[in-house]
Structures are given as C-alpha cells and as structure tokens.
Amino acid sequence: MTNFAYAIATWCFLTGGYVAQLVGAVQGLVCLIAGTMIGVFLTTMPLALGCHRYGLEQMDFCTPSFGTRGIKILLIFYLINMLGWSGLILVMFGNGIQNILEALGVQTGDWIVGAGVALGFWLSYLMVTRGVHLLNLATSIITPGLGVLIAYMFYVLFRDYGWDQIAAAQPLDPGPDPMKNYLICVEMGVAGGISWFGGVGFLARNTRRRRNAIYPELIQLGFMMGVVCSIALFSALVIQSDDPTEWMIPLGGVYLGVLALVFVALANITSTAVSLFASGLAIRHVHIFRDRKWWQLMVILIMPCVPFVFWPNELYDMGDAFLAFNGTMYGPISGILFADFLFLRRQKYNLWSIFEDHPKGSYHYAWGFNWIGIGSLLLGQAVYIWLYNPGTGATHALFYYINPSIAACVVPAVTYAIGMKLLGWHEKSVRISEELRNRSNNPVGQRLIDPNI
Amino acid sequence: MSPTPDTGKTPRELVVEDLERRIESLEALDDSALGRFTTLDWVICVVGSVLIPAVLLWWFA
C-alpha cells in the first residue's frame, strides 16, 4: 500500500507531462513503462535486498561502497533529489489551488502559486512532525482515492477521446529530431525509475520476506509508475498542456474536476511529508544535526526550498532537466551498489562495521572515504554528461546507441569492481572487523558505535 | 546530556545499547528466516524488468 501511494505520487503526473512535450502517445507509453522498469530494476535490486536483510536505510547501506564519511557526499545528492521533487510537486499544489479558485469563479494572480507552495510546506511540516502514524493514516486514505482518480481519468480519456484520438495527438513542443526526442523520453523513463533510490531502502526495510521487498517495488514503483505516467501523458496530449492541474476540469467537468484537484493536492502534501521524513532520517548522519529535535530538522530541510515560493513557475519549467539530472546522481550509485553488494561481497555486509566510528573500522578506508567508490561515482557522472547534458540538451553521437543512465550505471560498476579487486579492500574489511570485535570483548578495548536512529 | 533517572545512562548511551541489540539480533537472524530469492526469481526479474522492456524500446524506436 505504501509502495503504491509513493508510486502514484503526483511526480508521475509531472513526468508524463514532460514526455508529452516531445513524443506522442505510443512512443511515450513505451518509453515511460519500459524505461521506468529498467531504472527501477537497476536501483532496487541491491538496495531492496540489502536494506531488507540488514534493516538499513539507504544511506547506511551505501557505507561499505563509499566509506563512513563518503556517504556524506551522497547525502547531498539525496537531499537535492528529495527536496527538489518536493518543491516541484508543491508548485503543482499551488497551481492546483489557482485552478480550483478560478474554476469556482474567483480571479487570482500568479502570487497564489507561491503562496500555495508555502502553504504546502507548512501542511507537510505539520503532518511529518505529528508522527509516522499520521503519515500511514494519510496514505491509507489518499492511496485508494488516488487509485480511483487514476482509474477515472483513464475511463474518461477513452470514453471522451478514444484511443485513435489519443494516439493521433501531437506532442506539445518536440525538437526537430524525432529519434533524439524518443531517446530523451527513454532517458526520462530510466532516470525516473532510478530516482526511486531515495525511497527504496526505506520501503524495503519494512517488509518481512525477501520477495515482498522486491516484487512490489518492481511492479508498483516500476510498472505502475509507468502506467500512471502514461495516463498523465495521454491527458497532456489531448488537453495540450503539460500542467497536470489543467487536465482535471476539462476531463471531469467542474465538480469532479475540482474534487480531483483537491485529491491531487492532498496527495502532493502526503508525498512531500514522506520525502521530508526520509530526508530527516538521512540528515541525521551529519553530527551537527544528530541531536537536533525532529521539528528543527524539518525546518532546516524546508529552508532550501524557499526559492520555490518566490520563483515557482521558473523552477517548475526546469523540472525535466532536474529529472534527467537525477540520472547523473543515482545511475552511478546504483551501479556501484550492484557491483559491491551483489558481486564483490555476495550480499554479506558487516553491520557492526557500518556503525563503527573508528579509524580502523572495516568501512573507514582512507580517512573515511572509499576513494574507489567516489572516483567511480564522479566518472559515472562525467560519462552521463558526456553522452547527454540535461542542462543544455546537447548530446554526443553515441547518445543514439547508449542510454546515458545505463552507461552511468555500468561504467562505474566496472571501474569500482576492478579497483576494489586490485586493492583487495572488500576482503580486508572482513579481517579488520573481526579484529575490532575481539578487541571490544577485551575489558580494555571499547567498541565505538555511531548510531543514526 | 544528563543521565536518565531510571537507568543512570545518558540518552545517547541508551541509543547505542538499542542499536547494539538490534545489530546482534539481525546478525543472528538466519537468511532462511527472511524467505528465499532464488535464481528463478532473478531470471523473472531480469526478463521482466530488463529484457522485455529493452526489446520494446528497440521495437518502437
């Protein structure tokens, strides 16, 4: 249930809208479903298996690959991803408020969007500081409602327009090269799937059985996300707008459209609250934040999102580049985790070592950084941008043959595996850990634990 | 931080003890208690999540 709520979060609407800019319904459908499934597979397999087995959240799980201090670098990427998406969907929340008011005959200015963002962050703050049970309650209400909404949109699209009209609808603003447009949409699908990195561990650690940690994520975060994105794609194509809040009223009429907008608004708040919660857990890896009160952490996390209040639509228009940018961050990390957890260490991590705060700890490496992991991560980002620069839209000739996210996943995986094998770091870690454990049983010795719970 | 009155330990010490208990519990847990994820599961996941989607992407390019 939690997987589905997260999966059909309104960032699926955003993604579908972005794809509608470039390709039509058939190609878009394939890009979104197939691309998302590949991306989810790459990020889910090592994360879900490992976080489920060891009860870890994703940042701690990255410690063996990046070092006890190296994961702080990943934390920056992680927070950019979580908070960036939260800002974008709250701009949608603000747009939704504007559209609801205008549908009810109330004239507003653009300022209402920024005000909506501020209101959205405040409501999310209230939800996340009142306890996890409130999040669970919210998702248990919102999820069925969103499911009904998605099904209703699907029904109305085919009732009022039919497949022929949907398939014939032209993309909103395609580039001159149809193949490049298609491949960029493939990349949006793959990067969108890989973007689930921020939530996979958090979801998997709450399941009992291994298969429950994997299949629901592949099916719901992967396939279902693709389906929801596709419904958004079809809506954008027939309404000829990439703004999800502009689809509801034309599709459902005034009353149902307003109701749908209200539900989408609530879903936006819930998704933002989940993202803030997960971000709060992650930021406690940094010592200065560890002993902060929970509400203080939430305020600290919301502060960088203030630009979304003042420049909501400008930042919203950069959302497709942000989506692709996520591929530069999580593609390499996913590849390195694949190589490390599944191949080098055969799904065996040392839990003590993940939390040991000692210079001779197994995952301390050199000054707390696994330079092989970090170097491979940077190489992966360079490979991605060399193939496709999401900021400028520039592509290399090889972009037509190699997907950037997959390349950014495979190349670091290979360099990481070779580097770790050559230095033998993955084997050395087991021996040092045993040494430390024996030392801790000695009355003179002391085990140092650096918890983040 | 000052120790709690009941235990005489600081909150951080209590957190460390809790973490150590959890780690011991998780390390003692046998893999079989968490269910299986076999070669067949891997084949299903690779075929369903990678191969078939890749073929579809190539077909519709």
CB pairs under 8 A between A and B: 80
**Cross-chain Cβ contact A222/B49 below 8 Å:** yes
Q: Which residue has 């248990």 as its token pair?
A: A140
Instruction: Quote the Cα angle for A121-A122-A125, to 5°.
Output: 85
In a domain, A149, yes or no: yes
In a domain, A128, yes or no: yes
Residue A190: give the domain boundaries.
2-318
Report the Cα A320 to chain-centroid distance in Å.
Answer: 14
pLDDT tens digits, A98-150: 888 888 888 888 899 999 999 999 999 998 888 667 767 777 777 777 778 78
Rounded Cα distance, B31 and A399, in Å = 42
ipTM of this predicted structure: 0.83
User: How would you write the pLDDT of chain A (453 residues) with one tens digit per residue?
Assistant: 455 555 556 778 888 988 999 999 999 999 999 999 999 999 999 999 888 888 888 888 999 999 988 988 888 888 888 888 889 889 988 888 888 888 888 888 889 999 999 999 999 999 888 866 776 777 777 777 777 878 888 888 888 889 999 999 999 999 999 999 999 999 999 988 888 887 787 777 777 788 888 998 899 888 988 988 998 899 999 989 887 777 777 777 777 777 777 777 888 888 888 888 888 888 887 778 887 888 999 999 999 999 999 999 888 888 877 877 777 889 999 999 999 999 999 888 888 888 876 777 788 888 889 999 999 999 999 999 999 998 888 999 999 999 999 999 999 999 999 999 998 877 765 555 555 555 544 433 345 565 554
Q: What is the dihedral of CA A27, A31, A32, A34, to 10 degrees?
A: 120
In a domain, A433, yes or no: no
Q: Which of A38, A291, A453 sits opposite B49 (nearest CB)?
A: A38
Residues of A in contact with B27 (CB under 8 A): 351-352
For chain B, domain boundaries: 11-59
With left for phi above 0 and alpha for psi between -120 and 50, is residue A367 left, alpha or beta? left
pTM: 0.84
**Cross-chain Cβ contact A351/B50 below 8 Å:** no
Rounded Cα distance, A80 and A67, in Å = 20
Mutate to test the interface with B, among A22, A30, A227 (most CBs of B within 10 A): A30
From A421's Cα to the closest Cα of chain B, the distance in A is 25
From B4's Cα to the closest Cα of chain A, the distance in A is 16
Residue of B nearest to A291 (CA): B12
Q: Which of A40, A49, A453 sits opposite B37 (nearest CB)?
A: A49
Using a 10 angstrom Cβ sphere, with 0-12 exposed, 13-18 middle and 19 or more buried, the burial of residue A313 is middle
DSSP letter, residue A449: B
**Cross-chain Cβ contact A449/B53 below 8 Å:** no
In a domain, A56, yes or no: yes
Query: How many domains, chain A?
Result: 1
CATH of the domain at A241: 1.10.4160.10
Q: SS in 3 state form for A151-194?
A: HHHHHHHHHHCHHHHHHHCCCCCCCCCHHHHHHHHHHHHHHHHH
pLDDT tens digits, A33-72: 999 999 999 999 999 988 888 888 888 899 999 998 898 8
DSSP codes joined into one string, A377-409: HHHHHHHHHHHB-TTT--B-GGGGTS-HHHHHH
